[in-house]
Amino acid sequence: MRKAKKAKVSHARRDIAHGRAVLAQEIKGLQALAESLGGDFARAVDCAAAIKGRVIVSGMGKSGHVARKIAATLASTGTPAHFVHPGEASHGDLGMITKDDAVLALSNSGETAELADLINYCKRFSIPLIGVARKRGSMLVEAAGIALVLPDVPEAPPTDAPTTSTTMMMGLGDALAVALVERRGFTKDDFSVFHPGGKLGKAFIRVSDLMHGAGDLPLAGEGAPMREVLVMMTAKTFGCAGVCDAKGRLLGIITDGDLRRHMQPGLLDEKAGAVMTRRPLSIRPGALAAEALGIMNDRKITSLFAVEAGKPVGIIHIHDCLRAGVA
């Protein structure tokens, strides 16, 4: 029993050591790649930024999987991009590539046979070709107008399975995408447009995206009788009413709590101004919905008026935030 336990501990230590060795080797590759970036990388950024069409990313095998990820990253950060499988390209998908595009081709060896038709197509129609490979003097590097040669850092031992090389390719794709983000002035707001269903997209939803507009606002003047205010509060279903002055500026709010505090036989004959709570909490339409949700949770309220120049332009309910997945 003790021997089995010791063997299990021994295996665990070796596994952890092997895992760390792989990561250390990949870190070496990324460090070497960072140090190797130079004029060719800047030219690649120039090329991708200047085209009218898309960046077509292609690769075979593990390089193809990395190429798909690079294409997705470029597209989500403001650079139109698309993955084309080199095998399918030879059977009709070359028609997806136009003279307005640029091609980013990935190959560890630089000798991937399936890329030959794609390379020839780029040459024939003068389509910019950016080649990423590990071997200088390879077919892809020689054919490319811009060649990004990966440092010759070995794969993680004990096999030659693509590890360090694919990590470097992935890192190079990320570097290219982020450099283009900076070049284009792409912002977090732009990023959220491409990620409406993801957590990052939800993090950038604005109050103005969720708020109810002018036609839905439960508003009353200071002199409005409470019997009318109550009818409006019931009809609008926000559980509150905003009270405005003659110029439409928000002075106060009437909530269910205010009604309970003023509960007396003459309540219906009171004026809205006498029942309201002055200086109510409000929020800007341009504020993040997450900020509005935080205020409502913190103050234990369910609605906030969105105010511009002192005037209510919308209202947001806590349920609006929850339905949109804001957290």
- CATH number of the domain to which 248 belongs: 3.10.580.10
Tell me how far apart the alpha carbons of residues 5 and 267 are, in angstroms, rounded to a whole number. 78
Give pLDDT tens digits for 164-192.
Answer: 999 999 999 999 999 998 888 766 665 55
Tell me how far apart the alpha carbons of residues 156 and 163 are, in angstroms, rounded to a whole number. 6
Q: CATH number for the domain including 7?
A: 3.40.50.10490
Where is the domain boundary, 141, 156, 186? 186
Any residues with CB less than 8 A from the CB of 321 and at least 6 apart, and which?
A: 210, 289, 290, 292, 293, 296
Q: Are 290 and 238 in the same domain?
A: yes
Any residues with CB less than 8 A from the CB of 268 and at least 6 apart, and which?
A: 225, 226, 227, 230
Q: Are 6 and 113 in the same domain?
A: yes
- On the CB side of 50, CA atoms within 13 Å amount to 9
The DSSP code for 280 is: -
Q: Are 27 and 60 in the same domain?
A: yes
Token pair belonging to 228 = 């009318």
Any residues with CB less than 8 A from the CB of 287 and at least 6 apart, and which?
A: 206, 207
Q: Per residue of the chain (327 residues), what is the pLDDT tens digit?
A: 555 555 565 788 899 999 999 999 999 999 999 999 999 999 999 999 999 999 999 999 999 999 999 999 998 888 889 999 999 998 888 988 999 999 999 999 999 999 999 999 999 999 999 999 999 999 999 999 999 999 999 999 887 889 999 999 999 999 999 999 888 876 666 555 555 555 555 667 889 999 999 889 999 999 999 999 999 999 988 989 999 999 999 999 999 888 988 888 888 889 999 999 999 999 999 999 889 999 999 999 999 999 999 999 999 999 988 888 886
This model's pTM is above 0.75:
no
Q: Are 215 and 132 in the same domain?
A: no
> What is the extent of the structural domain holding 277?
207-323
Tell me how far apart the alpha carbons of residues 291 and 305 are, in angstroms, rounded to a whole number. 13
State residue 29's pLDDT score: 95
Q: Are 158 and 211 in the same domain?
A: no
Where is the domain boundary, 157, 186, 215? 186
Structurally, how many domains does the chain consist of? 2
Q: Are 211 and 155 in the same domain?
A: no
Handedness of CA 93, 99, 102, 107 (dihedral sign): positive
State residue 7's pLDDT score: 59
Q: Are 160 and 236 in the same domain?
A: no
Rounded to whole angstroms, what are the CA distances from 319 to 139, 210, 216, 327?
59, 10, 15, 12
Report if residue 198 sits inside a domain.
no
